[in-house]
């Protein structure tokens, strides 16, 4: 898998989690612990995306 396609997949998963969070927050029956867990997964994906973008930029700068 190329770096670009890997980044695209991570961004897609990030967006999907964001949508699930919005839906969960709109539902009064959703447990707050579940929402917090989704937010943590979303943040972890965001961090991973940022790390990969930085690596990609560093690689392009060196060449």
pLDDT tens digits for range 15-37: 999 999 999 999 999 999 999 99
Nearest to 35 by CA among 55, 14, 56, 20: 20
Q: Tell me the CB-side half-sphere exposure of residue 36, using CA atoms within 13 A.
A: 3
Average pLDDT of the chain is 93
pLDDT score of 63: 63
Strands of 1-63 (E only): list them. none
Q: Could you state, in order of their start, the residue ranges of all structural domains in the chain?
A: 3-62
Give the Cβ contact number of residue 6 at 10 Å: 14
Its pTM stands at 0.84
């Amino acid at each position: 898998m190329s770096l670009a396609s890997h980044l695209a997949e991570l961004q897609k998963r990030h967006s999907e989690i964001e949508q699930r969070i919005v839906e969960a927050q709109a539902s009064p029956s959703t447990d707050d612990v579940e929402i917090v867990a989704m937010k943590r997964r979303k943040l972890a994906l965001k961090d991973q995306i940022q790390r990969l973008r930085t690596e990609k930029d560093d690689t392009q700068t060196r060449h």
